[in-house]
Amino acid sequence: MSDIILKNIDKFYGNNHVLKDLNLTVNDGEFMTLLGPSGCGKTTTLRVIAGLEKPQNGTITMAGRKVVDTNELFFEDPGNRDINLVFQSYALWPHMTVFDNVAFPLSVKKIRQDEITKRVTDSLKRMRIAEFAKRYPSELSGGQQQRVAIARAIVSQPKVLLLDEPLSNLDAKLRVDMRSEIKRLHHEMGTTIIYVTHDQIEALTMSTRIAIFFDGVLEQVAEPMQLYQNPASLRVADFIGNPRINFVDGNCTMGSNGELSVDSIFGRMIFSNEDLTDELPGKTSFEAVLGIRPEKIEITRPGEAVTTPGVVYSVQPAGADTIIHVKIGDSIVLVKEIGIKNYPIDAEVGVKIDPSRLNVFEKRSGKIIKTAVLES
């Protein structure tokens, strides 16, 4: 199957403009995650692709075939789109065994019984629940029920699998296990997966690309580490990352040869025009915000060269890593160090950053104007 292409999609519920001129391409065989806060339009996008909602404007093509064209009032029936959808709720038939639940979509299509048995057995094995084939849903845990729901979705070998927050009802340990299973499933089957979540960890760990939404607008589409290291705007940067990114105010001045000079609590930094984006405001001076991830800040001895003096405000050891709050002037920055670290409260320290690893955003527009060097 070729790409899924959404062009100029608008979706209204009454006067509520839920999707605003959405343009998105999902490549054949990729794992695309739709990410954003509650109410941003990601589930509506999934339902529009599935055919459960009709947009007021725009077109959708799948495999080069139009399935939606609002100008012609054409909306292909959901059953003809070769798509399966897994909801947040498992929606299993309580009176059917696991085997019969998974077999149900094949039985509706009047497929031969021997083929049904073969496909159901294969799907249950893929989801590692073959031993539960004769059990009923009430006899399974939440994680096992979710595996049954996914097995039922893949048994008909759909070209596209849509997953709407399928792990949100599971506890933290089960979510980690199921992320691994779904990612492995995608690797083995090569099916195009479109996955909806508000959990950035799920998005970063599972996706080939992430589409991030705010208020019905598609803000950025990028590979996970590109999105993490070079968010397109302040609100993407603020949404992605745990612990949160550090934002530090700065003042920018454009030099005569195109370099950008940035003054902040970290001193003066100068960036060549090769580091800059096309979002520069066209002014010789303007306010900016520096974005620095906590793991990109290093604590050093006071007075060491190329450091900024600070004071330890608080320390939060978490076993695998330690979060240190350092006060620099009137600002507090977060530093993340691997392992267990001990710093006395109010201890004087130095703070060191690598300018190539930080982002600079124009404060008024919120757009990124200086990108970080990507790490593989």
Instruction: Convert the pLDDT of each residue in 76-129 to its tens digit.
Output: 999 889 899 888 777 899 999 999 999 999 998 888 999 999 999 999 998 889
CA distances from 162 to 182, 192, 195, 217, 279 (A): 12, 9, 6, 20, 34
Place 376 in a pLDDT band, splitting at 50, 70 and 90.
low
| Residue 20 φ/ψ, nearest 5 degrees | -120, 100
CATH class of the structural domain 4-237:
alpha beta
Note the pLDDT tens digit of each residue in 174-226. 888 888 888 988 998 889 999 999 999 999 999 999 999 999 999 999 999 99
Identify the pLDDT of residue 87.
82
Q: What is the DSSP letter of 159?
A: S
* Identity of the amino acid at 338: I
Cα separation of 134 and 141, whole Å? 15
- Class for the domain spanning 238-370: mainly beta
Indicate the length of the chain as a whole number.
Answer: 376
Residue 8 three-state SS: strand
The residue extents of the domains of the chain are: 4-237, 238-370
Same fold, 4-237 and 238-370: no
pLDDT category, 17, cuts 50, 70, 90? very high
What span, in angstroms and rounded, lies between the C-alpha atoms of 206 and 194? Answer: 11
Find all residues with CB under 8 Å of 172, minimum gap 6, and list them: none
The 359-362 sheet, strands edge to edge = 267-271, 260-264, 246-254, 285-292, 359-362, 368-370
Amino acid at 198: H
pLDDT tens figures, 253-305: 999 888 999 999 999 999 999 889 999 998 999 999 999 999 999 999 877 77
Question: Helix, strand or coil for residue 371?
Answer: coil
Two structure tokens written together for 352: 């060191």
**Closest alpha carbon to 150 in 104, 187, 185:** 185
Q: What pLDDT is stored for residue 158 in this prediction?
A: 87
Distance CA 250, CA 329 (A): 14
CA distance 197 to 262: 36
CB contact set of 105 (below 8 Å; sequence gap of 6+): 84, 152, 155, 156
Helix (H, G, I), strand (E, B) or coil at 298: strand
* Whole-angstrom distance, CA of residue 352 vs CA of residue 266: 8
Is the whole model's pTM more than 0.85, yes or no? Answer: yes
